Structure 1
Amino acid sequence: MIHDQPAAPDMPAGSVTDDMEQALIVADLLVQGGGHIDPQVFAQRLLQWEDSMRARGSPDLPGPSTTLVLEQVIASTGKTSPPTVPPCMTPVGIATTIDGDTDHDAKHIYESCRVTHNTLPGFQDAALVAAALNYGIEGYDTHQSLKAALRSVPSMHIPAAWSPKANVAARAQAALDLVQEHDTDGDDGRLGGHVRNRRPAA
Structure 2
Amino acid sequence: DRQLIAQKVLGLRTPATTLTPPEVKGFSATTFDELQKPMSERVAMAKALLKQAGYDASHPLRFELFYNKYDLHEKTAIALSSEWKKWLGAQVTLRTMEWKTYLDARRAGDFMLSRQSWDATYNDASSFLNTLKSDSEENVGHWKNAQYDALLNQATQITDATKRNALYQQAEVIINQQAPLIPIYYQPLIKLLKPYVG
TM-score by length of 1: 0.31
Instruction: Return the structure number with greater helix share.
Output: 1
Instruction: Return the structure number with greater strand share.
Output: 2
Considering only CA atoms, is the larger Rg found in Structure 1 or Structure 2? 2
TM-score by length of 2: 0.31
Greater relative contact order, per chain length (Cα 8 Å cut-off, separation 6+)? 2
